Chains A and B, each alone.
Chain A
């Protein structure tokens, strides 16, 4: 298992130094041309916004699914899982139709006699919206996996001890749901960083993601070495963020098993 993961990874790292010839040329090029720094920053920024938005929307959904009875649970989870019944590509094209010129939203603006309907796709807004839509189920399901296991008696105990509904939530429920939050945030953020299809189709030319540049180098320019270099950078950025995140959150870590080393 580890070997199966490790082999292609080391092959990739090796390629970034050796293809087509031995040396640091790919990394030098990455460092010299500001466009790559901008792409990396765009990728991180958009991913962060998407992750935050997914958390803000996903937490209440997971909360309601965990606490508002079996009917609500069924309705919410079915709605959240619905997108998985169609392919990512189809969903993204659907988004293009809905948000694009002549779609329901721009038509609505037309009817309301907007001077110039705002552009909803082929820009950062479109990319973010599409990514939120795709990533939301992952956030909801990760948080739900934790919140659905929180016994209702904890909140009852908090209430009987003098906490109002809000304090019972912030002081007792929320801390118990942290593992779900950290897990969801990590998952969505990391998958977002490596995203390709959605930003490529819904984003503008300025919202290029690293994954797109990698794809370009692999399939069109056929510069495997440079693609590998980009991938290594992406990997290092992701790992660094992971470590920082892990450090910041201390013993709520997802990387260490719960309860170990927390006292």
Chain B
């Protein structure tokens, strides 16, 4: 059997890892209705990868997870592990470990019996089972907790037991549905680190559902941004943060400045164009070709904007300071542009603190091509 053995503490990525592919995956709960809970989803998760599904409530994250785990039927499409379709298998035949939002620890069983449950179902008994349970308890840092009942554990401990139970049988894939949802912030951060470390060392291909963007960034190799059942973007944390595919992705992650404008010089895909914006003409980078006259939003992260009007080649905009809040490592400044747009600027204090007086005129500037044109 493939219960985790103690010598597998090192990186075993590759050796035992599996890849997961979602092919045009769709789900309608109401067969006759028009509404898709998940629509034409395509995703390749490589061996040992940690992928997060990030999106607002009702965007189809849980539904996708349930289809992978085998609890929801597919309306169309396919799911493959290592190139073989698993769509026809019942949940118990898929060998997928799952951690539920409320952990779903069996209340009438001790912690040891909870963790031993998947082994029992696989006909593993006696010493072998006891030892595997012990190993997993050590792995999640809960030695000696085997005799307790779930209700005698704290939320964080319950989560770790749920994780141990989902890992003990050596699953091909690990699925987690908002496992930190019920925990306070500090504990979350600690458990995130532990989970990440554990996942790395086991090299297990993992899908993690959350609607906490920070959590997704901390944990993931790649993030899948979902909205209304559709994938909005797939990318590494820095990709989705600095190169959002559309305005939904831009606004969903972090603070986004969006300035509405009209293209005055067209751009090919991956090229630089120019747009008329708030009384100025600014350069933009665009991933897609945009024709002259098209309406675009220019996107900029707050930390990409400088308030001292530096550089000759830089793009510039004039505005008035509306507020300035000192937060330690930086000052958060809001600036009102002539067309009324409110801009958020994070001014780093790394080279000394600068005082910003509310009501003063100020010049916003950034490197040419830093602004991204978003059409969707």
Pair from one complex: yes
Q: Which residues of A contact B (CB under 8 A)?
A: 151, 153-154, 156-164, 167, 171-172, 175-176, 259, 263
Taking the complex as formed, is B180 at the interface, i.e. its CB lies under 8 A from any CB of chain A?
no
Known contacts being A162-B121, A163-B121, is A157 close to B92, with CB within 8 Å?
Answer: no
**What secondary structure prevails in chain A residues at the interface with B?**
helix
- Which single residue of chain A is at the shortest CB-CB distance from B106? A172
| A158 x B117 contact (CB < 8 A) | yes
Residue pairs across A and B with Cβ atoms less than 8 A apart, 11 shown, are A151-B102, A153-B102, A156-B98, A156-B104, A157-B100, A158-B106, A158-B117, A160-B166, A161-B117, A167-B121, A263-B149
- Which single residue of chain A is at the shortest CB-CB distance from B105? A157
Contacts of B166 in A (CB 8 A): 160-161
Contacts of A172 in B (CB 8 A): 106
Highest count of chain B CB atoms <10 Å: which of A154, A157, A164 = A157
Contacts of B118 in A (CB 8 A): 161-162
- Which single residue of chain A is at the shortest CB-CB distance from B96? A160
Contacts of B32 in A (CB 8 A): none
User: How far does the alpha carbon of A171 sit from the alpha carbon of B122 in the complex, in Å?
Assistant: 14
Known contacts being A161-B169, A162-B169, is A156 close to B107, with CB within 8 Å?
Answer: no
Highest count of chain A CB atoms <10 Å: which of B106, B118, B165 = B106
Shortest distance between the CB of A147 and any CB in chain B (Å): 14
Contacts of A175 in B (CB 8 A): 106, 108
Taking the complex as formed, is B91 at the interface, i.e. its CB lies under 8 A from any CB of chain A?
yes
| B100 x A153 contact (CB < 8 A) | yes
| B104 x A159 contact (CB < 8 A) | no
Interface residues as binary, B101-133 with A (CB distance below 8 Å gives 1, 0 otherwise): 110101110000000011001100000000000
Shortest distance between the CB of B104 and any CB in chain A (Å): 4
Contacts of B108 in A (CB 8 A): 175-176
| Given A153-B100, A161-B92, A162-B118, 17 additional A-B pairs, CB 8 A | A153-B101, A153-B104, A156-B104, A157-B98, A157-B104, A159-B71, A160-B70, A160-B96, A161-B117, A161-B121, A161-B169, A162-B92, A162-B122, A163-B121, A171-B117, A176-B106, A259-B151
Shortest distance between the CB of B303 and any CB in chain A (Å): 41
Taking the complex as formed, is B293 at the interface, i.e. its CB lies under 8 A from any CB of chain A?
no
